[in-house]
Amino acid sequence: MQKRYRFLFTSPGFYGHIAPSLAVAKHLVAQGHRVGFATGSASRRMIEHAGIHDFFPRDAYQTCMDKITLSKSIYDYWPNIPRIFTPAAVKTMITELLAVFESFQPDVVYIDTMDLLSVAVADRFKLPYAHGCATSNFYLEKGIPPIGTRWDINSPRINRFKALLYIGFAAPFMFWAYRNNMKVLRSIDKDWDTSGMLRGVSPYLYMLFSTDKLEYPRKVFIPEIFYVGPSLLEQNEGHLPDFPWEKLDTSKALIYVATGTIQYHTYRQLYHNIIKALVEDVFPGYIQVVMAVGKGQALEAFGALPSNFIVVPYAPQVKLLQRASVFITHGGANSVNEALFYGKPLLVIASGRDPISVAQRVAYNGAGISLKPGHATVRTIRRSIIELLNNPRYARAAEGVMASYRRCDGPRTAAGLILKLAESREPIRRRPGAPITLHHIDELPHYTDGTL
């Protein structure tokens, strides 16, 4: 009989981070293991609806993360870190996190890569932990643009020079934040080892929810890293937003627009530009547009809509993506993965740290077009949609990513890796030369030295 384990999941309470980890957690629950979630209270209902009732609120941490998301660029992001993660804030966050670990007593911890404090606490309790990355791989490599930058991958020499400037800019803020964390942790326990927060990659296991088909050509070998494919949360039919399906015209190409729920204020002007760019007069009888603008937008602010537009606060995204010809998105990893799972080309208009890197990878691999928000004018949006609809290379590239995604079973593979970690309590590492994408957990012996 298989031993039952306790798995603690820690993550910021944003849908794009909760959804992939929750899909993994559901597989562990189905196998009889006990799972707890430590995140912001706003996610409680979503997590409990998935059948997980060990919920631990981390609202001090979520307050800090909410402020971080207001950073409009990578150069706003780094200075915000020490301003937000002050010693007083860190002490409050550590106190709530220590209480979670002591109460739940996990065997293994799943830690979102944005959650450095959970790494420190896992190290203190001497617990193996798996990193889960919901967005693009962030580890630095010569010539590869760092996360949150729009550098050209085809200019490696220039990128190396830029990287020196980038690191020189970010390092003081990173050091100051680390110093704040270290002072607080060592005030609790003077022997607390804080070096784990500097690693970036778990020494036990690091899982990224994508494949090599949506990545730059990596050369650096980090054996703990496995790409496992997208981890998509199945939607409950009974909890989908209402939508006027009768208004959809199946004879027209569907353009679906959604820009997430975190930085909707950034996209207010974009919505108006999209309406002007894709008006019926320009595409007579050819396209229909569904635009989900979020609860923060007043629908009446858009005035009289063109006849080919449907504008709603929320939409059943997966169902619409299955019908869509093109997806206009903010570049959130979860949304991009959902679109590419169905082979849909994208127009990515990304603002913020992680989505920029996702947008760059989409464009590099030919699955879509990337625009800066400031460059998303009526003219460039219209021109981009015409290109995406009429040039078949984008659809072919998107379908190539789809094929790689469909070969994977992301949630099940990730759950299997975490379970292996619980059983062995030893690092799980790819052998040199093994592919970075692990399609199924059954293939693991072929990726390692065969001892797992």
- Model confidence over 293-325: pLDDT tens digits? 887 677 778 888 999 999 998 899 999 999 999
Q: Is 177 inside any structural domain?
A: yes
Alpha helices in 190-313 (DSSP H): 268-277
Same domain, 336 and 213: no
Query: Which structural domain, as residue segments, surrounds residue 280?
Result: 237-406
Give the domain CATH number at 183. Answer: 3.40.50.2000
- When pLDDT is cut at 50, 70 and 90, the band that residue 88 belongs to is very high
Same domain, 48 and 180: yes
Same domain, 396 and 438: no
pLDDT at 79: 87
**How many Å apart are CA 359 and CA 368, to the nearest integer?**
8
Name the domain count of the chain.
Answer: 2
Note whether 309 and 276 are within 8 A (CB): no
User: Residue 391: which residues within 8 A CB-CB, separation 6 or more?
Assistant: none
What is the CB neighbour count within 10 angstroms for residue 272? 14
CA angle 331, 396, 309 (to 5 degrees): 55
Q: What is the pTM of this model?
A: 0.92
Same domain, 413 and 393: no
Average pLDDT, the chain: 91
Q: Is 1 inside any structural domain?
A: no
Q: Could you report the per-residue pLDDT of 120-171, keeping only the tens digit for each? A: 999 999 999 999 998 887 788 888 888 888 888 888 889 888 888 888 988 8
Q: Could you report the per-residue pLDDT of 24-55, keeping only the tens digit for each? A: 999 999 999 999 999 999 999 999 998 999 99
What's the whole-number mean pLDDT along residues 386-402? 97
Same domain, 208 and 263: no
pLDDT of 263 higher than 70: no
Q: Is 333 inside any structural domain?
A: yes
Q: Environment class of residue 441 by beta-carbon count within 10 Å: exposed (0-12), middle (13-18) or buried (19+)?
A: middle
Same domain, 342 and 204: no
Q: Environment class of residue 218 by beta-carbon count within 10 Å: exposed (0-12), middle (13-18) or buried (19+)?
A: middle
pLDDT of 87 higher than 80: yes
Same domain, 297 and 402: yes
What's the whole-number mean pLDDT along residues 345-374? 93
Same domain, 287 and 171: no
pLDDT of 277 higher than 90: yes
SS3 content of the chain, % helix, strand, coil (to 5): 50, 15, 40
Q: Is 316 inside any structural domain?
A: yes
What's the whole-number mean pLDDT along residues 177-199? 87
Partners of 8 in the β-ladder: 36, 109
pLDDT at 378: 96
**How many Å apart are CA 130 and CA 376, to the nearest integer?**
38
Q: Which of 376, 139, 176, 132 is nearest to 278 (CA)?
A: 376
Radius of gyration of the chain (CA): 22
Same domain, 181 and 299: no
Same domain, 432 and 391: no
pLDDT at 237: 53
Q: Is 452 inside any structural domain?
A: no
Q: Is 224 inside any structural domain?
A: yes
**How many Å apart are CA 211 and CA 421, to the nearest integer?**
21
